[in-house]
Amino acid sequence: MKIAIFDTMRVGVVDGDQIRDVTDAIGETTDVWPPVFMNRLIADWEAVRPRIDAALANAPPVPLASVTLQAPSPYPTHIVATPANYRKHIAEMGSIGVTPRGKNAATQGFFLLSTASLCGVSRGIELPRGYETRRFDHESELAVIVGKVARNVPRAEALNHVFGYSCLIDVTLRIDGENNEERVMRKSFETFTPMGPWITTADEVGDPSNLRNTLTVNGETRHDASTADLIVDVPGLVEMASSVMTLYPGDIIATGTPEGIGPIVPGDDVTIRIERVGEFSIPVRIGDTVPPRVFS
């Protein structure tokens, strides 16, 4: 099942280019802050899914293109992110890699992104004023959506704790010589973590260990890789993160970018596609913000 959140926090099920509103089957108010309904829906999925299935029969389809897509897990307690998890990406980073040369996700672990950097695919990537002085890159990543409270989950049980998958672009202000800011800040500007267009449930994706991951900018291929090349794979990432902290339903694990990172500028159109998970295109704009203090 492909579950999307749209417009004023409506819950929808996507089928082809149509979406059906099943919000009434969720049994709670969704358009209030904080938007934790999705965390509960995921936690209670076995009970909620039959109600959604029943509601689908009477839910009229509307064109997916006519709705505003929000982040499909809008209020995660964590966005776990993975550095240096594809060997060819480590090679291309060379001296600008934050992770010390020769190290990778298996030895360096993970970092966190601000949950406030998350946005839906209808929003657009907004580069801050003053972007011209620096380089902003795309990173194309499979996102894992945690399905159950996870603490010290062994590898063999890890996939039982996965609710589903989504497509995630980890937009990054690249370090540049003396401009060597903290990684969390460089990746946590508002709209720098667009995710979607929906969550595809784990039963529909199956084995996540060989999914093609591609990203184009204005039609030009930048990333074209497979999750088969992950250094720490999906079960390994759940095991690693949950060995440090408790993960909760709705939490997001961004699995890291393959080789092919490159700059984006306002006016670009970025398309990410992950096999059996989804695909979205998103424009790059100038954000309506003052220049961040890091530029001034």
Binding interface with Mn ion (CB under 5 A): 139, 170, 257
How many whole angstroms separate alpha carbon 270 and alpha carbon 61?
27
Closest residue to Mn ion, judged by C-beta, is 170
Question: Cβ closer to Mn ion: 158 or 168?
Answer: 168
What is the smallest separation between the CB atom of 132 and Mn ion, expressed in angstroms?
A: 23
How many whole angstroms separate alpha carbon 296 and alpha carbon 293?
5
How many whole angstroms separate alpha carbon 57 and alpha carbon 49?
13
Question: Cβ closer to Mn ion: 27 or 100?
Answer: 100
Position 275: which residue type? E
How many whole angstroms separate alpha carbon 134 and alpha carbon 190?
17
Report the greatest alpha carbon distance in the chain.
59
What is the smallest separation between the CB atom of 213 and Mn ion, expressed in angstroms?
A: 12
Question: Cβ closer to Mn ion: 139 or 233?
Answer: 139
DSSP classification of residue 230: B
What is the smallest separation between the CB atom of 18 and Mn ion, expressed in angstroms?
A: 32
What is the smallest separation between the CB atom of 172 and Mn ion, expressed in angstroms?
A: 7
Question: Cβ closer to Mn ion: 5 or 171?
Answer: 171
DSSP, collapsed to helix, strand or coil, labels residue 79 as strand
What is the smallest separation between the CB atom of 283 and Mn ion, expressed in angstroms?
A: 20
Give every strand in the sheet of 269-274, ordered side by side.
125-127, 278-286, 269-274, 212-217, 220-226
What is the smallest separation between the CB atom of 139 and Mn ion, expressed in angstroms?
A: 4
Whether the Cβ atoms of residue 193 and residue 171 lie closer than 8 Å to each other: yes
Question: Cβ closer to Mn ion: 23 or 216?
Answer: 216
How many whole angstroms separate alpha carbon 7 and alpha carbon 69?
6
Question: Cβ closer to Mn ion: 73 or 140?
Answer: 140
